[in-house]
Amino acid sequence: MLTRRRLLEGSVAGLLASASGGCNDRGSGRRVVVVGAGLSGLNAALILERWGFEVDVVEAKTRVGGRLWTLDHLPGSPEGGGNVMGAQYGRVFHMAHHLDIALRTPPRTLPSDYFIGDQRITRASWASAAANPLPEAWRSIPPQRLMGKLNDTNPLLTTRAWHDPDLMASDQSADVGLKALGFPKAAIELIDANNSYGNNLQDTSLMALYRIMGEFGRLSGPALAVKEAALGNMRLPEAMAEQLTRPVSLGNPVVSIQHSSSRVQVALASGETLEADAAILALPLPAVRTIEVNLPASQTALLNQINYHKVVQLHCIVEAPFWEASGWSGSWWTDSPLGRIFTRPIPNTPRYNMTVWINGDDCDHLHALDEATCTETITQALWQLVPEARDVTSAGQLVRWSMDPYAGGAWALWRPGQAGTAHGAIRAPTGRLFFAGEHTAEAYRGMEGAMESGERASLEIMRVLA
């Protein structure tokens, strides 16, 4: 616990260090609690420690990494959370390099064939297939590329254009917006079937979709290859946590936070209270909502309105490539409740990891089931769709991000009217409380966004306390 005496000594040391131009211990004696040991919290903690702060990281789960979760108990160690490191993930790559985490080019996911209605369509015959519901001019576009058509009219030409007041007309329902842009009904339905950036198109901002597509367009420049950690992405947050002077406090959820303009008290489920000069909430918003904390009413209202993406995954192990005999590729993009099926080889074995990836509102009925029934429901649907999988495929692990109280979903979504403005407001520091996490990032999303947000939050703290 920080006594007045220690605070005094620390502050004097800090003052003297700055008066004499010292650097490494500028934050010395200043104490920060970081809530959440995901990439964002860990990156902020490492930066603050580097500049002399005393940092305590507290984590609800019994492991670090948060939404990076390598399923180490399954063959092939599939990723239950973040899987692909984008070509421009400078911060993630540097951290991995610095901590000797080997990266590799991911084993290639088999390309998708299609199930539309209950009709199977091979990749090669998509354009001409009778079950392809698209009108003539659109038929040759595969379902997973349809959203890319937004780049024909994308007004977001720069990294921060999604906040441009002149472009706010696009911050409208994607369902309405796509119709207005002339997307045929069948195309809109296919986009809605497996949209990773909304739970349904009515409640998704077109601006948010433009942002994603614009990013894909812009970042395809001098591209390095995408990567993953060879031994699992969770090795990265684990190695980051090991660098910290003080070990992360695991299995210890924060239950309430009191703060004033100068102090923060963080109460843990263990009954302990941590006192500090500042705290960073490096948490997804649904997890923030479970903590009792006095935020301004307008900020609380906003936090409560942000939706998170629903994702249910069933990770399966395939003993042999059952699809080869029948001429299929092994992965499927479907408009069925099963969503997408991603299959990739486990290196140096004859086996494959197969992930059934269901997202959006299709998850609702699965969330209502207990774990065993949910697994059984998905497996039965899989056998029905692909009967030949049955003898060689076994279910390994069910992952339901929305049901994890410390995640509450896969990532933040932007509803109509939120993309332009909500984003800045939800991360605004209040008193000595600061916010990090992928949902607060500006230029990137995902893992790199989490790292970026940790930089921004530590900068905000250093400004006030260094």
Partner 1 sequence: MRLRVLAVFLSAVQLGLLSTSLQAAPLTGEQLYDVACRACHSLGTAPDHRVGPPLDGLLNRQAGTVDGYQFSEALRTSGWVWRLPTLLAWLTDPDAAIPNNAMNYVNPLTAEETQRLSEWLLQQP
Ligand X SMILES: Cc1cc2nc3c(=O)[nH]c(=O)nc-3n(C[C@H](O)[C@H](O)[C@H](O)COP(=O)(O)OP(=O)(O)OC[C@H]3O[C@@H](n4cnc5c(N)ncnc54)[C@H](O)[C@@H]3O)c2cc1C
Among residues 261 and 326, whose Cβ is nearest to partner 1? 261
Contacted by 81, from ligand X, partner 1, none: CB < 5 to 8 Å by type:
ligand X
Sequence letter at residue 356: V
Residue 54: closest CA among 79, 72, 28:
28
Among residues 311 and 451, whose Cβ is nearest to partner 1? 451
- Is residue 287 close enough to count as binding ligand X by CB under 6 A? yes
Footprint of partner 1 on 220-239 (CB under 8 A): 221-222, 224
Residue 283: closest CA among 264, 262, 306, 260:
306
Among residues 45 and 302, whose Cβ is nearest to ligand X? 45
- Give the C-alpha separation, 17 to 390, whole Å: 67
Which of 31, 61, 67, 91 forms a contact with partner 1 (CB under 8 A)?
91
Evaluate the CA torsion angle 441, 103, 214, 169 in order and state its sign: negative
Give the list of residues 6+ apart from residue 214 with CB closer than 8 angstroms, or none.
151, 154, 156, 157, 161, 162
Which of 49, 54, 56, 59 forms a contact with ligand X (CB under 6 A)?
59
Query: CB-based burial of residue 189 (10 Å sphere; 0-12 exposed, 13-18 middle, 19+ buried)?
Result: middle
- Is residue 437 close enough to count as binding ligand X by CB under 6 A? yes
- Is residue 102 close enough to count as binding partner 1 by CB under 8 A? no
- Give the C-alpha separation, 34 to 57, whole Å: 5
- Is residue 23 close enough to count as binding partner 1 by CB under 8 A? yes
**8 Å CB contact between 349 and 320:** no
Q: How many residues are recorded in the chain? A: 466
Contacted by 463, from ligand X, partner 1, none: CB < 5 to 8 Å by type:
partner 1
- Is residue 442 close enough to count as binding partner 1 by CB under 8 A? yes
Contacted by 339, from ligand X, partner 1, none: CB < 5 to 8 Å by type:
none
- 329: which 2 tokens? 């590729």
310 to 290, 375, 402, 429: CA distances (angstroms): 18, 16, 6, 28
- Is residue 66 close enough to count as binding ligand X by CB under 6 A? yes
Contacted by 261, from ligand X, partner 1, none: CB < 5 to 8 Å by type:
partner 1
Among residues 1 and 19, whose Cβ is nearest to partner 1? 19
Residue 101: closest CA among 241, 270, 310:
241
Footprint of partner 1 on 387-426 (CB under 8 A): none
Residue 175: closest CA among 183, 167, 166, 164:
183
Q: How many Å separate Cα 162 from the centre of its chain?
A: 19
Which of 7, 186, 250, 403 forms a contact with partner 1 (CB under 8 A)?
7
Among residues 140 and 220, whose Cβ is nearest to ligand X? 220
Footprint of ligand X on 372-411 (CB under 6 A): 401, 406-407, 410-411
- Give the C-alpha separation, 333 to 324, whole Å: 17
**8 Å CB contact between 197 and 309:** yes
Per CB under 6 A, residues contacting ligand X are: 35-41, 58-61, 66-68, 81-84, 253-254, 282-284, 287, 291, 311, 401, 406-407, 410-411, 437-438, 446-447, 449-450
Per CB under 8 A, residues contacting partner 1 are: 7-8, 11-12, 15-16, 18-20, 23, 26, 47, 50-51, 88-91, 93-95, 97, 157-161, 215, 218-219, 221-222, 224, 261-263, 277, 442-444, 451, 455-456, 458-459, 462-466
